[in-house]
Chains A and B, each alone.
Chain A
Amino acid sequence: MVKCRSFICFVVFILVFSWFAHACFAVEKADAEEALIDAENNLSSVYVAVLEVEKSGGNVSDLLVKLDSGGNFLAEAQVCYRNGDFDGAVYYADLSVRNVTGLVEEAGQLKALAISGYNERLFETMAASGVAVVVIVLGSVVGWLIFKQRYFEKVLKMKPEVVKGES
């Protein structure tokens, strides 16, 4: 009899627990929305950082691959949310955030590298162009002077020709 009572109590406890556990641990719609907004903002900020790296001339292929996986998780989260699966929405939104965590810093480092590389390249190219321009200017002046001298010598060696019929 005692065993039977305790068994009934146990069953009732399990039923009550499962009823309230759902209420206690279930993710609300608002939580899911917040997680989705967080993930969306995170992806956007990383994307903006990636664009900055690209503008600076950096290679963004690796960053885009990581961003893409974050984007896939966010898309999955949105699909879960539309289906009313708020737990799934929060789970995938968190995965999206985790996938892109640290990418802004990585993008910052890549940008700094790209800028220093650009400056180095610009300096080398400007130096090479400057030397080439100086050589061209000096070469032109020297060439012109030599040409002018030869031209005058040639003119001075010329003899006047007398053409018939002219006075």
Chain B
Amino acid sequence: MNLEDYRTVFAVSGLILILVASAPTLSLVLPLSGGERFSELWILGPNHMAEDYPFNVVNNTVYNVFLGIGNHMGSSAYYLVYVKFRNQTEHLPNATAGTASPLPPLYEYRVFLEEGKSWETPLTFSFSGVSFFENRSFVESFMVNDGVFSVDKLASWNGENNGYYYQVFMELWIHNAESDAFEFHNRFVGLWLNMTGV
């Protein structure tokens, strides 16, 4: 190696050391882009596991599940969860178009969550005024936690799956601070329920 090569080695080493020394300041001034931003929404069964979900349901019996949200949006988030109830012919949210179900919400949760934190709550539901006639079932009221909601839902007999099917589902909405409004967050979870008796 001649003197020019040694000079280059000295200059490069000096520059690397300068970059290392100024890294703490740069990290304070330049914002680092985080990873992928997303939110989680889940339902767990009565034993806090992803099993034993209610399926065959009857009149006046209380069913328990757990509902949870996880925030990985890079900052604190304000979530709104709508609980909705439908029969097989009514619309679910459209994940492709990113639109919520047009059904009116029955129950709701409002959750403020810090980045990286999760939230979970028990959710109980039951039905009353269930009746069956001419290959149809009818649900008059749907109860969620302490709320009683008149739903008057009919479900026709599903010959393929042998049952009268309803679905309770939860939509996740998120507050957009710029528009100062809630937007459908394109996440929803649901439970299929087969009404089996009065």
Contacts and interface: CB of A to CB of B under 8 A. Distances in A.
B21 A129 contact: yes
Contact of B6 (A44, A50, A147): A147
A144 interface: yes
A47 B29 contact: no
Given A71-B111, A83-B148, A136-B17, A122 B3 contact: no
Interface string B126-148: 00000000000000000000011
A72 B110 contact: yes
Given A47-B175, A47-B177, A71-B111, A79 B24 contact: no
A78 B106 CA distance: 9
B42 interface: no
Interface class of chain B by DSSP: mixed
A79 B106 CA distance: 7
A125 B177 contact: no
B112 A132 contact: no
Contacts of A79: 107-108, 147
Contact of A140 (B14, B24, B25, B177): B14
Contacts of A147: 6, 10
Interface of B: 3, 6-7, 10-11, 13-14, 17-18, 21-22, 24-25, 28-29, 75-76, 78, 104-114, 147-149, 175, 177, 180
